[in-house]
Amino acid sequence: MKYSSYSVVERIGTRSPGSVLSPTVRIDEAAPRSRQTARRAGQQSGGDFCYYVDTQGRQHFNFVQRIWLRASVGMAVTPVMTIALETLAINLLTHLIRERDYPVAVGVTSRRVVKLARRFCTECLLTAQADGWVMPRSTLRAWLASRAGTQRRVRR
């Protein structure tokens, strides 16, 4: 999987937010082949979190969704605050916060993650390129460390 052949990939936080109407989001189903491809993409990107939209308009992530706030709503990039975007934020943040003390519809995350998710959406995900981005783990760790009381709980 090569991100450059599908879309322009932009680092998170380099674009300002705007008002956009959102079309229906099509997510690539997590078939075994997709998981292998996502795993390879994660290895190729040095462990960074990646997202892109393919030529058919389907969203792809290089990590598997493990947390669902609502059982029927998958994680997705959307141009406005939605449960799908918040679910994406929670899945990203759960990778780096150790606590697992907050059960949701599917999976267990951290109360801290749930509290930070909307702020993360506003500050990072809503300002990101809509058709592709790369988020280095170090950037995510730095964002978490800048929030009071999270530095000692971030996975290295």
pLDDT by residue for the chain (156 residues), tens digit each? 333 333 334 444 444 444 333 334 444 444 334 444 444 444 444 679 999 999 999 999 999 999 999 999 999 999 999 999 999 999 999 999 888 888 989 999 999 999 999 999 999 999 998 889 999 999 999 999 988 554 445 555
Rounded to the nearest 5°, which phi and psi values hold at 132?
165, 145
Total-model pTM: 0.69
How is residue 36 annotated by DSSP?
H
How is residue 12 annotated by DSSP?
T
How is residue 137 annotated by DSSP?
H
Q: Which amino acid is at 82?
A: T
Rounded to the nearest 5°, which phi and psi values hold at 40?
-65, -40
pLDDT of residue 130: 85
Secondary structure (3-state) at 126? coil
Please, which residues have CB within 8 angstroms of residue 42's CB and are 6 or more apart in sequence? 48, 49, 50, 62, 63
Element (H, E) at 68: none
Element (H, E) at 135: strand 132-135
